Amino acid sequence: MNAKDITFLEDTFKKFYFENFDLLHVPDDPNQREFGYQKFNGGMNRHISLKSDKELHLLLMQNKPSDVYCSNARYMFPNLSMAEKDWQNAELIFDIDAKDLRKEHPKDNTLIKCSDCNEISQLKESCPKCQSTKLSFITLTCNDCIKSSKDEVVKLNQILTDDLGVNEENIKIFFSGNEGFHIYVPKSEYENVGSKERGEISDYIMFRGSIPETFGFKKFNMNKSSLPKFEDAGWNGRLAKHLYGTKSNRSKISQEIISGGYTLFQKKLEDFRDSIGIKIDPNVTQDIHRIFRLPGSINSKSGLTKIFVEDLKKFDPYVDACFIDDDEIEVAANCPIEFSLKKKKFGPFKNEQVSVPKFAAVYMMCKGIASRV
Amino acid sequence: MVNLGNDEIVKYPFLTEAGKYLNDKGFSLEQFGSDPDLKKIVDNAFERIITSSEGKIFKSDPSSNNSALPLEIFSFLIAVILLKLSGMNTLIRRFSLAEARRAEKFLEKDLMNHQDATKAKLSLQILQELFSVTVEKTDEEFTILISDYLKHSINFHEREWKLINRKVSKGKVHLTPHETVRLVRKELDRHIYAKINSSSTPQMIVGFETYVDKLKQLAKKFEVKTVESKEFPPCIKHAIEVLEKGENLPHSGRFMLATFLLNKGQTVEQIAPLFKNAPDYNPKVTIYQLNQLSGTSGTTEYKCPSCEKVKSQDLCFAVPACDTIINPLQFGRKRV
């Protein structure tokens, strides 16, 4: 990113923070948290300790960060090096991101950027200018992506409450600031468990590593009655619903499963991972030393804000998380597809100078498809 | 701490303080080396070690403990002394595991004891006090908190112990009595091993020399020599292929590849060029991250992830030769 764009974005973000201090808070136990931030084109600054909202606001004003983070873990000495921090516990966290949900990039919402010649174009298999296949993908606003992320959040919530015994009031959902959701379980029996144990929790949620025996399929003396039933708790019940569709199909489909044999059923279970497993990012859940985007801060991948979601169904991130003002700004934009923000449509822009509201300009600059003129 | 009767000490002898127990019963260690009447106990102790070295569980004869000399308890205590005198860690390991499995059988039986409520209560208390596992009994099933379950189950490599393969509801895992006890075997083993290791080694006792020499000879049988092939496991080959093609290898794949090669003794400078084809290659960042993984910039040297972890990250491309390994680093290692 060039210096002019950086200055513009830094000033815009700073203005947002100055006007929205009420959105940015340190957690209840700030003394135990590690904070971190990044600057545009800069590396990560972490191992920072902040004691109050005031100190946080000062950091935002002084450093003009592109991104701000706070640990889900609590430490005795959060500002010391990792080995000396003395880890105490960590909130259970989940990351659901649209990029992990799709099998292919959404055609109408994706751009490609060639790593060799920097050409930006509509979704193709290779760069139309130099034919290179080294491409990075840029996804713009996509309602279907948000819808599928929301569906995963709902399914995750069900497993957290029904299977893992988490109180519904203890599940906090945040829009990630780009194209997904961050889910926190702030206080629970799980906050003391380590990384390997959290790996087991993520495998459970993602339906990974299951074996036929778990669902009553034995290698010998197989009997229909041992296969999953609709009323079973946990994955057995969910699998039954997925396998049979309706209760009346159970008998017929059970027989087919038995006839197919053990190995085929095992193969099917692996395939079910994609269809019924919840698509969380396991690395986030397993990482007990992570610094996670701070609620209320702007995500520099989009210029949208990570905010608390009260009503998931009604929530529209492209309206509700877009806080940058709408002063008109001149930018050179290279955005060959259309996108929509705050219920307004923008683009396509073919390498042209355009005047757009600041929120749209910031969005495109964060996506790397526009520059200040 | 759990209050133990003689009955319980027979089942769980590792819960006693060896020296104190012998003293309380009016014996000194030297007597066991010299008194012909006590030779039977030393023979028994020796036998107990031999049995454990063969991977079997020492057969219990609780009736012998009703006599003046509680043979079973003494044989355990003397076995510990013989092991300490031999200094053979491999035998101590085998002994701890066999004793853990022996105790496990009693714990399971006690858990299911419907006639004697105190026995069931005591076994629950042992689980609670020794392993911090709170077990609740509901009908024929036992439930424990998922968080407690996970602390123990992660020690197992068998897939049946994965949380996904357990009956789970409302924050609890449902287990049979057998599974409940099996869950703590490793900790039981560790507890016994730690207890033996922390007990002091006495001076050689006259009359014990032959037993100790025999144990030293026996331990030699268990020395393992291995040879290793230079071939990379399929997961590593695949990761290298992906990078060579200039395709994107996920972070977890890069972590696996880098830690594997570092653990195999390659240097950061040897490994870094492998990543030069990655779409987001940045030489400075690559060197920084490799230094972090190798422990040169930080304090932690990262280990290559286990096969289970690699599998869960969709990075596993197992071939039959992978059947017997639990970490990619073990690929191609054979016993001779």
Which pLDDT score, from 0 to 100, does residue B168 have?
95
Identify whether A14 is part of a domain: yes
* CATH number of the domain bearing residue A197: 3.90.920.10
3 state DSSP class of B59: coil
A234 and A219 in one domain? Answer: yes
Structure tokens at A59: 């950091």
Which pLDDT score, from 0 to 100, does residue B61 have?
63
Identify whether A358 is part of a domain: no
Stated as kind and residue range, the H or E segment containing B191 is: helix B185-198
Classify strands A135-139 and A110-114 as parallel, antiparallel or unpaired: antiparallel
Greater confidence (A200 vs B112) lies with: A200
pLDDT band at residue A299 using 50, 70 and 90 as cut-offs: very high
**Amino acid identity, residue A36?**
G
Read off the pTM.
0.81
Between the alpha carbon of residue A198 and those of residues A115, A159, A201, B301, the distances in Å are 36, 15, 5, 21
A187 and A312 in one domain? Answer: yes
A286 and A266 in one domain? Answer: no
pLDDT of residue A94 exceeding 90:
yes
Domain boundary among A276, A300, A332: A276
pLDDT band at residue A324 using 50, 70 and 90 as cut-offs: very high
pLDDT of residue B111 exceeding 90:
no
pLDDT tens-place string over residues A52-93: 999 999 999 999 999 999 999 999 999 998 888 999 999 999
Most A CBs within 10 Å, among B165, B243, B308, to test the A interface: B165
pLDDT of residue B63 exceeding 60:
no
A199 and A147 in one domain? Answer: yes
**Amino acid identity, residue B18?**
A
Positions of A annotated as catalytic residues are: 95, 97, 281
Mean pLDDT lowest among A163-172, A327-336, B34-43: B34-43
pLDDT (mean) for A111-131: 90
Which residues between 21 and 80 in chain A have a beta carbon less than 8 angstroms from any beta carbon of chain B?
A: none
Smallest CA-to-CA distance from A101 within A204, A180, A176 is with A180
A72 and A29 in one domain? Answer: yes
Tell me the pLDDT of chain B averaged across its residues.
86
Asked if the peptide bond before residue A128 counts as cis, ω within 30 degrees of 0, the response is no
pLDDT band at residue B276 using 50, 70 and 90 as cut-offs: confident
Identify whether A364 is part of a domain: no
pLDDT of residue A326 exceeding 70:
yes
Identify whether A27 is part of a domain: yes
Which pLDDT score, from 0 to 100, does residue B14 have?
85
A261 and A147 in one domain? Answer: no
Minimum-distance CB partner of B279 among A134, A211, A213: A134
Structure tokens at A2: 């060039």
Identify whether A360 is part of a domain: no
Cβ of A204 within 8 Å of Cβ of B313? The answer is no
A314 and A219 in one domain? Answer: no
Cα A26 to Cα A295: distance, rounded to the nearest angstrom: 9
Residues 6 or more apart in contact with residue A324 via CB below 8 angstroms? A12, A16, A303, A358, A359, A362
A213 and A298 in one domain? Answer: no
pLDDT band at residue A290 using 50, 70 and 90 as cut-offs: very high
A240 and A92 in one domain? Answer: no
Cα B297 to Cα B274: distance, rounded to the nearest angstrom: 20
Cα A142 to Cα A121: distance, rounded to the nearest angstrom: 17
Total of domains in chain A: 2
3 state DSSP class of B247: coil
Contact B134, B144 (CB under 8 A): yes
In degrees and rounded to multiples of 5, residue A222 shows phi and psi of -75, 140
Which pLDDT score, from 0 to 100, does residue A221 have?
77
Identify whether A1 is part of a domain: no
Q: What is the ipTM of this complex?
A: 0.92
pLDDT (mean) for A122-138: 89
Which pLDDT score, from 0 to 100, does residue B117 have?
79
pLDDT of residue A14 exceeding 60:
yes
Chain B residues within 8 A of A234 when measuring between CB atoms: 167-169
Chain A residues within 8 A of B251 when measuring between CB atoms: 283
Which structural domain range is residue A182 located in? 9-100+142-203+281-323
**Amino acid identity, residue A348?**
P
A69 and A166 in one domain? Answer: yes
What's CA B203's distance to the chain center, in Å? Answer: 29
pLDDT tens-place string over residues A19-49: 999 999 999 899 999 999 999 988 899 999 9
Identify whether A337 is part of a domain: no
**Amino acid identity, residue B104?**
E
A25 and A90 in one domain? Answer: yes
- Report the percent of chain A where pLDDT is more than 70: 100
Contact A39, A46 (CB under 8 A): no
pLDDT of residue B221 exceeding 90:
no
A298 and A218 in one domain? Answer: no
Identify whether A48 is part of a domain: yes
